[in-house]
Structure 1
Amino acid sequence: MTSFFGDIPQIRYEGPETDNEFAFRHYNPDEMVAGRRMEDHLRLAVAYWHSFAWEGGDPFGGRTFDRPWFGDGMELARLKADVAFEMFRLLGQPYFCFHDADVRPEGQSFAENLRNLEEITDYFAAKMETTGTQLLWGTANLFSHRRFMSGAATNPDPEVFAWSAATIKACMDATHKLGGANYVLWGGREGYETLLNTDLGREADQAAAMLSKVIDYKHKIGFKGTILIEPKPQEPTKHQYDFDVATVYGFLKRYGLENEVKVNIEQGHAILAGHSFEHELALAASLGILGSIDINRNDYQSGWDTDQFPNNVPEVALAYYEILKSGGFTTGGTNFDAKLRRQSLDPEDLILAHVGGMDVCARGLKAAAALLEDGRLEKMRAERYAGWETDAGKKIKGASLAELSDMVLSSDLRPEPKSGRQERLENLVNAVIEKA
């Protein structure tokens, strides 16, 4: 145990009536929801980078947090891990996620980076054995260092491509060794600032070449997890190539990789792309590429990715509705890719942010399950498209353009519009959520 969290107690479920802020009001890991334990549905994970590596800076100001593990060297990296796993224990968190740069100090060479990562991987393995916390996914940081200013896989310099590939291999090896359920590729700077110096076709081919190498290596080492791409539309680049789910799927189809890769969808990224979270989830499910999620929100008065903990139960309920409707998570889960506000300095803030987020996810999951069990939403959806299931509807679908023209002329069709009943559906959703 460490002293960072002081005398904060183990966080336990006490129910909705409790006044204890260091207790769960809704997250009960053993509660059965739609046939599964709540913990097994949600598969909650802590983001190592935001919780332990982020220093509280923003574009206009530097570090505000004062953490005893900030600095270089493996001793401080081990201290950071000690604190992280202490927090996982306090919260009962089943999973965590990390980038290589979050967990090991930056060395003077790639070889030193690799040694540092391998050493901390072994340290993690021992702690995971003791705590039971598992790895939801690992990934490589290919965006923070200045060498990645023009991208990683899409960089115009082949030496940066090679360095990036070696880094991905190292992170895949670490993820595999730790029994990770997934491996994520997030192209933080895979995009362009101006078309004046960009070859779009070449950069797409480079991105596909890197992804193909990742898939080949996955099979070579026998990694059974899922390869995930995380879409994001912008920030920091003017335009990123993994803009949204539809763009990622088009890329995968173009290069014949759609059966090898799924998506890790972030709520904040969906909003930046001009979509709702549930839209991106529903689209991914319909395309067969829904893998995992990052659960965080943006400030709707800001135009950038603020990475705040979820606090809106109806929003979360609609997200989990799409996930449950598609069959629920397999290798994926719910990663809190969220960070404290830079004024929230205390260790207690870090614990309570996760407690609140876990309770919101629990309430959202239960509401989503109630909506599915209620059945009226899906019944009304089916009724809206019922005409396509009739003999006439099937005949229309199979007819040619000329045949349809003849059909309309000969029968003097006069279709009348039917209500979409949107407000009625919204009232239904709200009524079910209130009771859940």
Structure 2
Amino acid sequence: MTKQTADKFSFGMWTVGWQARDPFGEATRAALDPMHIVDKLAEIGAWGVTFHDDDLVPFGSSASERDAIVAKFKQRLAATGICVPMITTNLFSHPVFKDGGFTSNNRDVRRYALRKVLRNIELAADLGARTFVLWGGREGAEYDHAKDVRAALDRYAEAMNTLTSFVVERKYDIRFAIEPKPNEPRGDILLPTIGHAIAFIERLEHSHLVGLNPEVGHEQMAGLNFTSGIAQAMWQGKLFHIDLNGQRGIKYDQDLVFGHGDLINAFSLVDLLEFGGVSGAPAYDGPRHFDYKPSRTEDTDGVWFSAAANMRM
């Protein structure tokens, strides 16, 4: 398939690389090497690849191992023409983050989370990524009395102020995009919707550097109209990045192929993004990023067929 450069189609390594392990079943596919993912994305016509730090460099790798992996990754990017428009950090998988990263009740964990993100910002700058997404999947609780929400928001804001001050001091051309989600894996997650996140951002020191990375399924899990939410994010100048996938109503996060859920809302979203600007010009010029998961029933070939289906939508 010809590369769709103008469309800026990008995929997370964790999407096509998902081994189809879920809370009730083991993996149904083998792990994919990150370098192979880059090659295959180029083959199906994608423009960019994104990743969490641990997607590329396994957690606990030594400095020399990390350097070798990053060097090899850069070679694959150069060979394929694939770019890295966005990077994010995994602050949810390791048991140390069981109570969150930036909002953990444990001060040592909060400090470690900041160090992990700051190190990854350096990699983002090195690779030319201009957007840094922050999804606080563990920033929340299951019980109302387990975490002081006001204190947690203070800690969240302190972390964001530290990160934005860091990029300002280093003169990096990087902006941050908060990804809202109402629940899962936590019972309740802080900054659950576009509206919550926008209100939070307005209280930050460098709020011009912080916007949103809304995801179709996350807003629809809360019963909200995704197109309307995106329109408001645009109106407030806060749509820094977007995650496209499919969701069929208020249930667990399905991460279906884009359009394989609420088809009418998907059409209205595309119309807004592509023709909602002045005189019918695109209203959004950032990456069209697909954060989906191939079905557990797919084999390896099916992974790439489903990835291409997102771009055809």
- Superposition TM-score, scaled by structure 1 size: 0.67
Query: Structure 1 residues 179 and 241 mapped into 2: Cα distance closer, same or farther (>3 Å)?
Result: same
Shift of 1:257: 4.3
Q: Does 1:239 align with 2:188?
A: yes
Partner of 2:298: 344
Return 5+ residue gaps in structure 1 as ranges. 1-10, 13-27, 30-38, 70-79, 361-436
Return 5+ residue gaps in structure 2 as ranges. none
- The SS at the match of 2:19 is coil
- The SS at the match of 2:182 is coil
Q: Does 1:88 align with 2:28?
A: no
- The SS at the match of 2:212 is strand
CA contact (8 A) 2:16 2:307 kept: no
Shift of 1:254: 2.8
Partner of 1:315: 265
Partner of 2:147: 198
- The SS at the match of 2:213 is strand
Q: For residues 352-396 of structure 1, what are the alpha-carbon distances to aligned partners after superposition, in whole Å with 9 as ceiling and x for unaligned?
A: 112211110xxxxxxxxxxxxxxxxxxxxxxxxxxxxxxxxxxxx
What is the one-letter code of the residue matched to 2:289? N
Residue correspondence of structure 1 range 54-133 to structure 2 within 5 A: 54-67=18-31, 69=32, 80-107=33-60, 112=61, 115-133=64-82
Q: Provide the aligned C-alpha RMSD in A.
A: 1.8
Which structure: greater helix fraction? 1
Partner of 1:430: none
CA contact (8 A) 2:161 2:205 kept: no
Q: How far apart, in 2, do the equivalents of 1:137 and 1:272 lie?
A: 24
Q: Does 1:47 align with 2:12?
A: yes
Q: How far apart, in 2, do the equivalents of 1:175 and 1:227 lie?
A: 11
CA contact (8 A) 1:100 1:117 kept: no
Shift of 1:158: 0.9
Q: How far apart, in 2, do the equivalents of 1:120 and 1:219 lie?
A: 28
Q: How far apart, in 1, do the equivalents of 2:251 and 2:219 lie?
A: 12
Q: For residues 208-262 of structure 1, what are the alpha-carbon distances to aligned partners after superposition, in whole Å with 9 as ceiling and x for unaligned?
A: 0100111011122222132111111111112111111110111112334432211
Q: How far apart, in 1, do the equivalents of 2:123 and 2:148 lie?
A: 34
Shift of 1:89: 2.1
What is the one-letter code of the residue matched to 1:101? D
Q: How far apart, in 1, do the equivalents of 2:67 and 2:244 lie?
A: 29
Shift of 1:314: 3.8
CA contact (8 A) 1:121 1:178 kept: no
Number of matched pairs: 306
Which structure would you say has the larger Rg? 1
Q: 1:335 aligns with which of 264, 273, 289?
A: 289
Shift of 1:92: 2.1
Identity of counterpart residues, as a percentage? 24
Query: Structure 1 residues 93 and 144 mapped into 2: Cα distance closer, same or farther (>3 Å)?
Result: same
Q: How far apart, in 2, do the equivalents of 1:311 and 1:246 lie?
A: 23
- The SS at the match of 1:153 is coil
Q: How far apart, in 1, do the equivalents of 2:188 and 2:16 lie?
A: 28
- The SS at the match of 2:36 is helix
What is the one-letter code of the residue matched to 1:277? F
Q: Does 1:274 align with 2:223?
A: yes
Query: Structure 1 residues 317 and 356 mapped into 2: Cα distance closer, same or farther (>3 Å)?
Result: same
What is the one-letter code of the residue matched to 2:87? G
Q: 1:159 aligns with which of 92, 108, 124?
A: 108
Shift of 1:320: 2.4
- The SS at the match of 2:217 is helix
Q: How far apart, in 2, do the equivalents of 1:91 and 1:333 lie?
A: 16
Query: Structure 1 residues 263 and 115 mapped into 2: Cα distance closer, same or farther (>3 Å)?
Result: farther
